Amino acid sequence: MGVFTGKIGVVMGVANERSIAWAISEALYAEGAELAFTHLPGPSSQRRVSRLVEPHGPKVLVPCDVQKDEDLARAFEAVGRAYGKIDFLIHAIAFAPPQELRNPYVEMSRAGWHLAMDISVYSLVAAARAAAALMADDGTIITISYYGGEKVIPGYNVMGVCKAALEHSVRYLAWDLGRRNVRVNCLSAGPMRTLSAAGIAGFDELRDHAAQKSPLGRTVEMNDLAATALYLLSDQSSGVTGETIHVDSGYSIVGL
Q: What whole-number distance in Å separates Cα of residue 205 and Cα of residue 210?
A: 9
195 binds ligand NAP (CB under 6 A): yes
197 binds ligand NAP (CB under 6 A): yes
CB closer to ligand NAP out of 145 and 237: 145
CB closer to ligand NAP out of 113 and 181: 113
- Full DSSP string of 97-154: -HHHHHS-GGG--HHHHHHHHIIIIIHHHHHHHHHHTTEEEEEEEEEEE-GGGTS--T
CB closer to ligand NAP out of 85 and 193: 193
Q: What whole-number distance in Å separates Cα of residue 118 and Cα of residue 89?
A: 18
Question: If you compute the radius of gyration of the chain from its CA atoms, what whole number of angstroms results?
Answer: 17
Q: Which of 146, 147, 231, 251 is catalytic?
A: 146
Q: Which amino acid is at 157?
A: N
95 binds ligand NAP (CB under 6 A): yes
Q: How far is CA 123 from CA 88, 104, 205, in A?
A: 16, 25, 30
Instruction: Pick the piece of the chain touching ligand NAP (CB under 6 A) from 50-58, 65-73, 75-83, 236-244.
Output: 65-73
Instruction: Pick the piece of the chain touching ligand NAP (CB under 6 A) from 28-36, 81-89, 188-196, 239-247.
Output: 188-196
119 binds ligand NAP (CB under 6 A): yes
Active-site annotation, residues: 146, 156
Q: Which residues make up the interface to ligand NAP (CB under 6 A)?
A: 13-15, 19-21, 40, 45, 64-67, 92-95, 119, 144-146, 189, 191-192, 194-197
